[in-house]
């Protein structure tokens, strides 16, 4: 009997594929995901420590020697779904980063000249291992080869921190999610640059391998173990079993009626940004979004010290925002590759007050303002009983004090003598910020109004 294998090195939504058309086609999967039938990752703990065993490790080595420069980044794909360009743009305002490749000012190594890159990277203390997608367990050569093999500390953006903690050497990386903003990350890197002991601590993993290190030799994309595949006693060849691995982060998020306690248990072991939507057990409370927020939420006591605002959005954007785990600005790329545009009816580059920057995250202390049609475009639908509703959605957000500015409404209500919210002045109803990491999503609100149409 002939068997078919799904082999992929990329995230499931790159390129965009309709997996439904492949129902029943594939028997096995070979991807970077740990739940593949056969592993095909870009790197692994086993391979990393095997390499060190072959090369030998000097426990007294000073990893600052010969590194006269701070940070470097090789990047070829300029428009990606992880918003790494936007994050890096903010980061370089606070520290120096040399950017090479197709998206950089200089190309010290011609494309695919892999042998050239090590001699460049080894001059630096930090490498920006920013992935082009944010997917579960998606950790590529940017981390394993460009950073670890060249003895520089990787600064990572992409998969959740919990994935790196599970798959990468202990204390070998710096994750952007540990910082409230690119500025805070830059300050930390500059501190490490001046502290030899703290910098060298990021290389102690070389002499202290994990006790329960997985034995996964042969797991890179050089091929797959046919004998191992053929020896499986029982293979689920249904599309649902294979596609659940292929589709990665596209898991079912609706869990029906569930208590708050059960939701907390469900999310306890999940990565930051993981979420579920459940039906409340309390009458009249409807549906509730439960999400795992970053460690900074607890560390900085955000639910008591940060301010509460709302962010209205199109219902079609909810999946992208939840997939990204953060709010995006016009010009950013959402999950799925869609570039965000300025809101119709809102100030745009062509129609705005002098000096007003439209490329920001917009919030409001007023749910009425965030829920207006400009921000929360209504979605009309009919029930089986024939009733027609307009549904609007908005996120409830914690925003860090002093990270945002307050201004007047920008949808033209004042010109029409319309008072938007009786509790908030029109000239103090809109908040805006360019500071990434200054917001934390913690609620999804849905308003449904029956229409007469």
Active site residues: 10
Q: Is the peptide bond before 47 cis (omega within 30 degrees of 0)?
A: no
Least Cα distance to 424 among 363, 378, 376 occurs for: 363
144, 150 Cβ separation under 8 angstroms = no
Alpha helices in 234-364 (DSSP H): 239-246, 260-268, 295-299, 302-305, 318-324
How far is 189 from 52, CA to CA, in rounded Å? 26
227, 11 Cβ separation under 8 angstroms = no
> What tokens does 380 get?
């009309």
Neighbours of 78 (CB within 10 A): 12
* Three-point CA angle 115, 120, 125, nearest 5°: 130
Residues 146-170: b if buried by 16+ CB within 10 A, e if exposed? bbbbbbbbbbbbbbbbbbbeebbbe
275, 395 Cβ separation under 8 angstroms = no
* Three-point CA angle 311, 136, 39, nearest 5°: 170
* Three-point CA angle 150, 151, 155, nearest 5°: 95
117, 63 Cβ separation under 8 angstroms = no
3-class secondary-structure state, position 199? helix
How far is 284 from 226, CA to CA, in rounded Å? 55
Give the CA diameter of the chain: 77
> At how many degrees (to 10) do helices 84-91 and 182-194 cross?
60
Residue 319: partners with Cβ closer than 8 Å, 6 or more residues away? 335
Least Cα distance to 430 among 374, 351, 354, 390 occurs for: 374
């Amino acid at each position: 009997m002939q068997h078919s294998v799904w082999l992929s090195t990329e995230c499931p939504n790159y390129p965009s594929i309709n997996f439904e058309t492949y129902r029943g086609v594939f028997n096995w999967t070979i991807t970077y995901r740990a739940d593949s039938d056969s592993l095909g990752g870009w790197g692994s703990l086993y391979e990393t420590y095997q390499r060190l065993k072959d090369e030998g490790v000097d426990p007294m080595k000073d990893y600052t020697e010969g590194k006269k420069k701070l940070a470097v980044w090789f990047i070829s794909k300029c428009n990606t779904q992880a918003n790494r360009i936007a994050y890096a743009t903010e980061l370089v305002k606070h520290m120096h980063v040399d950017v090479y490749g197709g998206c950089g000012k200089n190309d010290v190594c011609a494309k695919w000249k892999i042998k050239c890159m090590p001699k460049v990277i080894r001059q630096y203390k930090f490498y920006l291992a920013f992935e082009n997608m944010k997917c579960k367990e998606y950790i590529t050569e940017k981390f394993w080869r460009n950073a670890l093999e060249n003895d520089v500390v990787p600064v990572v953006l992409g998969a959740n921190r919990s994935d790196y903690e599970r798959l990468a050497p202990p204390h070998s990386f710096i994750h952007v999610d540990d910082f409230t903003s690119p500025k805070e990350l830059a300050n930390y890197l500059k501190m490490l640059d001046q502290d030899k002991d703290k910098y060298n601590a990021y290389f102690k993993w070389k002499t202290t391998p994990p006790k329960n290190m997985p034995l996964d030799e042969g797991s890179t994309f050089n091929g797959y173990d046919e004998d191992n595949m053929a020896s499986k006693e029982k293979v689920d060849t249904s599309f649902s079993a294979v596609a659940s691995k292929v589709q990665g982060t596209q898991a079912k998020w609706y869990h029906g009626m569930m208590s708050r306690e059960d939701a907390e248990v469900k999310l306890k072991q999940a990565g930051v940004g993981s979420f579920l939507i459940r039906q409340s057990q309390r009458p009249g409370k409807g549906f509730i979004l439960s999400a795992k927020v970053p460690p900074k939420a607890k560390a900085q006591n955000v639910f008591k010290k940060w301010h509460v605002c709302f962010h209205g959005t199109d219902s079609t954007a909810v999946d992208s925002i939840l997939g990204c785990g953060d709010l995006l600005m016009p010009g950013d790329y959402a999950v799925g590759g869609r570039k965000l545009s300025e809101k119709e009816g809102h100030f745009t580059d062509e129609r705005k007050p002098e000096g007003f920057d439209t490329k920001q995250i917009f919030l409001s202390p007023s749910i009425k303002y965030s829920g207006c049609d400009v921000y929360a475009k209504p979605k009309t639908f009919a029930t089986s009983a024939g009733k027609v509703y307009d549904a609007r959605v908005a996120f409830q957000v914690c925003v860090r004090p002093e990270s945002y500015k307050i201004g007047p409404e920008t949808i033209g209500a004042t010109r029409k003598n319309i008072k938007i919210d009786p509790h908030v002045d029109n000239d103090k109803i809109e908040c805006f910020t360019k500071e990434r990491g200054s917001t934390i999503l913690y609620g999804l609100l849905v308003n449904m109004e029956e229409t007469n149409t």
